[in-house]
Structure 1
Amino acid sequence: MKVLLVYPPIFRVVGLASTPLPIGMLQVGQWLKNEGHQVEALNLEIGGEIRTSSIARMRQAYAETDLPATLADPRAPWRQEMRIKIESFRPDILAFSCATEQMDAAALLVEDAREILPGIRIELGGSHVEPNDWVRRIGREALMLDPALDLLSGQNPPSSFGAVLTSLGCPFDCTFCGSPKRYGRKLVNYPIEQVRSRVMAAKEAGAPYIHLMDDTVTIQKQRAIELADLMAEIGLPWRTQTRVDDLCRNPQLAAYFRDAGCSQLTFGVESGSPNILKATRKKITREQVLQAVDILNDAGVPYTANFMIGFPNETDDDVEQTLDLMDQMRPSRVLAGSVVPYPHTELHDAFPDFTDAARRWPLCQWSPFDPRFLRDDNGGRIQGPSVAALNRFFEYIDCINNHAPTPGTFSTVS
């Protein structure tokens, strides 16, 4: 059979340049190819023009776009690209990989496809949906395969092919994360030679650096050392994620990673409030965050800290505690967004009023970067901190990322 794999747009719809590598979709593509199917892929997220890493600029792009109306425009380039592909390839199966925000675009693409091929079979996968038996079986088997990077050759830029997964699963159970339900809480490492194969394939595809995508790279010290040794051997610069408690437990990893070519580490803090950290089961403390920052600074490793705002039980005082922690950290860079009660997370199920309120918005607005999502008639966050606290939070982050004076404890960020 002929199968067309499609990654629908969302950043592109608001004009933002984005170059995602849908690894899971490409693993499914490899499985289908192994089974003898004719497979092609279409990454419709490629094509936005606003190139920025600024949280403020991303939020502005969302605020300036009427998402439902923009999606509904049949003249949109991404919808035209889909029609052209359907006409030329004439697939038997159209399979989507969708996060929550992409579901509205996928629904419109299904309508467009059925205008051309009324009998086409539709399959949905990705983090939003509950997969059917066919998708679940393929996904389970495909997860052990290397992604078929060739399916997006000529669509994705070479820099995007550096995204590499080295493991599956996560032993933690943060309330805002859907990974435990999707992949389980058992950590399964890919064999180191399979990781080597993936990194070499990325290098051969033209990737100038490697991004080890796992949140769990540093959980097991010996495994972390093996990965660092592999990256040093291959010789490309690389970056990855860590946890602050991993660094506190094994501080020598920071310098080891630096010497192996690691150019940046990213870790989640989420909040500076002990109450919020406890409620989300993040299983870290403020003290551990500051200890990890000292370790990275001593080793000379740049880092990015991730934060979230807008938990349904979060107060303005919780936000102030987060800003106070930022003051003490003086991070190199901050990534942040508003909390979204995504399906398959405990947050989605544990706060039904919060989730019911979220359903007033179309799925395309279920984004951490859409400033209109979950706002009441006065612009405040439903079941969360005030408008003033939200604005202050994002103002802080904008100042930190621009190395500008902040309206807080310290006047400059070094």
Structure 2
Amino acid sequence: MNVLLINPPVRSENIYGRLAIFSHKLPPLGLCYLASYLIGYGHKVEILDLYVSNHINLIDFINAYQPDIIGVTSTTVSFPSAKKTLKIIKSYYPEVITVMGGAHISAVPVETMNECADIAIGVIGEGEITFKELIDIIGQNQDLSGCRGIIYRKNNSIVKTQPRPLIENLDMLPFPARNLLKEFDRYYHHFLRGYGRTASIISSRGCPYGCAFCTQAVFGTRVRGYSAHYICDEIKQVMRDFSANFFSFEDDIFNYDRQRLKELCENILREGLKIRWCCSIRIDSITEEDIGLMAKAGCKKIYIGIETFSNRLQKLIGKHIEREFLIDKIRLIKSYNMEVNASFMLGLPTETKEEILETINNANNLPLDGAVFFLYTPYPGTQLRRLAEESGIISNKWDDYSSHLSTHAFYPRSIKVKDLDRLIFYAYRRFYLSPKFIKRNYRNTNIFRQLFKYLFKRVKSLF
């Protein structure tokens, strides 16, 4: 069958608002994994990433390709755009089979089907095996009830099949088909997570920690990793085919398994891969031995999620890290010539202005190289959403769910939204323009050099 996979168009300004100049555009690796898996079974697949290639006419592309099935991926914030894209497709091609996958429909499948009548079938969770079986069943004109992990329409009702088990052996999946991305050079990383020509890579799926603000609707809470040999072979392919010189591991938690971390770093060294890379870690479970080996294998940037310094809110979100412990670990990591960047979350349910200022003040006292301040967003399917409903007003517009200063998905009663906006801008100004930050970084101007290069690239891309 001919399959077309679409990433819907979303303007950076709609997600990042006034901070859009610092946004990134990452390749849709989920679609690339799905495409390569389907190609392995003889199907013809094209990827149309309208987030990057928004100048391509959707209908002209479909006319030229003539797909049998069109799949659209969607996060929560991109769902309105995905819905509009499907409506356009169905208005021109009412008989084409339309499938939606991704984080949003995986989190709230029934609600999503009810909201968008143009979705014929939804894929819940990991999509590779499910989508392949779905195509087989459609091709053989069999009943869809035999396909696990989907939701579909039948006789004016919505039917949800049994869940699809997670893929145990990720090495069974072929490398993601990055070659199907039409304009690879138009993807770029945030300057805090990349150097030079940066490529995204995924070495594991899932997260075991269950933070109350986060959802694992697609990959689950049980972590599964690709083997060290698989990852190193993929790195070599991306270096060869795309001239990448820096890799950003997009795993939720890179150091979930110390033995696997050791095997991967040792394999990078054994194969002589001269690469630089970054990753996200749980700082409370990293050891000096791990840090030293990561540095030796080329790790240059570490990203950590701190979220809040309020003891009360730490218990609420299920994430507790002592300030002095953080300072010691950050200094230890930096002693191995690695940058440390952190994220913080402001506007949590019941959070007060005093607690927000406590987080901002403590963030400025950490020896960090960079910081990002997110707005709390009550994503569907998360534990904290119920408390948000009780302690404020939740937006029913999915394009409000960006986590950045473009819109608000949550209006807390504990603080005015206009005050929250001011505090986020204050947090950025105080961090990046503080004498401590400038003094700490003035000898190594890398952070400023990256910032100016990044700004130049972003401005240049507008013309």
State TM-score, norm by structure 2.
Answer: 0.73
Displacement of 1:292 in angstroms is 1.7
Higher mean alpha-carbon deviation, 35-44 vs 183-192, is at 183-192
Q: Answer yes or no: is 1:315 the counterpart of 2:321.
A: no
Give the C-alpha shift of residue 6 in structure 1.
0.6
CA 1:92–1:304 in structure 2 vs 1: closer, same or farther (change >3 Å)?
Answer: same
CA 82–413 in structure 1, closer or farther in 2 if over 3 Å, else same: farther
Equivalent in the alignment of 1:396: 427
Give per-residue Cα distances to partners, 1:123-164, cap 9 Å, x unaligned: 111111136987248716386313122211544547677211
CA 1:411 to 1:194, structure 2 compared with 1: closer, same or farther past 3 Å? closer
1:276-328, Cα deviation, whole Å (9 max, x unpaired): 11110024333332222121232221111111111112111211220221122
Match runs of 1:147-162 below 5 Å: 147-157=176-186, 162=199
Look up the equivalent residue of 1:310 and give its one-letter code. Answer: G
1:278 corresponds to: 315
User: Corresponding residue for 1:241?
Assistant: 280
Residue of 64, 69, 86 corresponding to 1:110: 86
**Residue 336 of structure 1 aligns to a residue in which SS?**
strand
Equivalent in 383, 397, 403 of residue 413 of structure 2:
383
| Unmatched tracts of structure 1, length 5 or more | 48-76, 376-380
- Count residues with an aligned counterpart: 369
- Structure 2 residue corresponding to 1:365, chosen from 391, 400, 406: 400
Q: Secondary structure at the match of 1:269?
A: strand
Q: Answer yes or no: is the 8 Å Cα contact 1:330–1:413 preserved in 2.
A: no
- In the alignment, the residues of structure 1 paired with residue 349 and residue 253 of structure 2 have an alpha-carbon distance, to the nearest angstrom, of 27
Contact 2:37 2:128 (C-alpha < 8 Å) held by counterparts: no
Over residues 163-209 of structure 1, what are the superposed CA-to-partner deviations in whole Å (9 max), with x where a residue is unaligned?
11111221101011112x43222221212221122212221232221
Structure 2 distance, partners of 1:295, 1:327, is: 18
State the shift of 1:9 in Å: 2.4
Q: CA deviation at 1:394?
A: 2.7
Q: Which amino acid aligns with 2:419?
A: A
Moved more, 319-328 or 160-169: 160-169
Per the alignment, in what secondary structure is the counterpart of residue 4 of structure 1? strand
Alignment of 1:344-359 (within 5 A): 344-353=381-390, 357-359=394-396
| Cα separation, 2, equivalents of 1:392 and 1:137 | 36
Indicate the residue corresponding to 1:71 in structure 2: none
**SS at 1:94 equivalent:** strand
RMSD: 2.7
Contact 2:347 2:420 in 1 (8 A): no
Once the two structures are superposed, residues 330-368 of structure 1 have per-residue CA deviations (whole angstroms, 9 ceiling, x without a partner) of: 321011210111112112244334686221xx2222111
> Secondary structure at 1:239's aligned position in 2?
strand
Change (3 A) 1:184 1:226: same
Q: In the alignment, is the contact (CA less than 8 A) between 2:86 and 2:98 conserved in 1?
A: yes
- Cα separation, 2, equivalents of 1:156 and 1:121: 31
1:122 corresponds to 2:152:
no
> Does residue 49 of structure 2 align to residue 19 of structure 1?
no
1:41 paired residue number: 47
Identity of aligned residues (%): 21
The answer to whether the 8 A contact 1:99-1:126 is kept is yes
Q: Structure 1, residues 69-109: CA drift from partner, whole Å, max 9, x if none? A: xxxxxxxx55x522221121121211111111111111111
Match of residue 177, structure 1, among 189, 207, 214: 214
Q: Which residue of 1 aligns with 2:231?
A: 195
Is the CA contact (8 Å cut-off) linking 2:405 and 2:421 kept in structure 1? no
Q: Secondary structure at the match of 2:5?
A: strand
Give the residue type in structure 1 aligned to 2:413: Q
User: Is the partner of 2:280 in helix, strand or coil?
Assistant: strand
State the partner residue of 2:451: none
1:164 alignment counterpart:
201
Q: 1:224 Cα deviation (Å)? A: 1.5
Name the aligned partner's letter for residue 246 of structure 1. S
1:303-342 counterparts in 2 under 5 A?
Answer: 303-342=340-379
CA distance in 1, matches of 2:201, 2:184: 18
* Residues 315 and 302 of structure 1, relative CA distance in 2, 3 Å threshold: same
**Contact 2:250/2:280 (8 A) holds in 1:** yes
Note if contact 1:3-1:95 (Cα within 8 Å) is conserved in structure 2: yes
3-state SS in 2 of match to 1:303: strand
Instruction: Indicate if the aligned counterparts of 2:79 and 2:398 stay in contact, CA closer than 8 A.
Output: yes
Q: For 2:60, which of 77, 80, 84 is the aligned residue?
A: 84
Does the 8 Å contact 1:304/1:333 carry over to 2?
yes
Matched-pair contact (CA < 8 Å) for 2:38–2:128: no
Instruction: Specify the code of the residue in structure 2 equivalent to 1:149.
Output: R
| Aligned pair partner of 1:141 in 129, 146, 149 | 129
What's the counterpart of residue 192 of structure 2?
none
Q: For residues 13 and 246 of structure 1, do their structure 2 counterparts lie closer, same or farther at Cα, with a shift above 3 Å needed?
A: same
Which residue of structure 2 aligns with residue 3 of structure 1? Answer: 3
SS at match of 2:263: helix
Distance 1:164 1:372, change over 3 A: closer
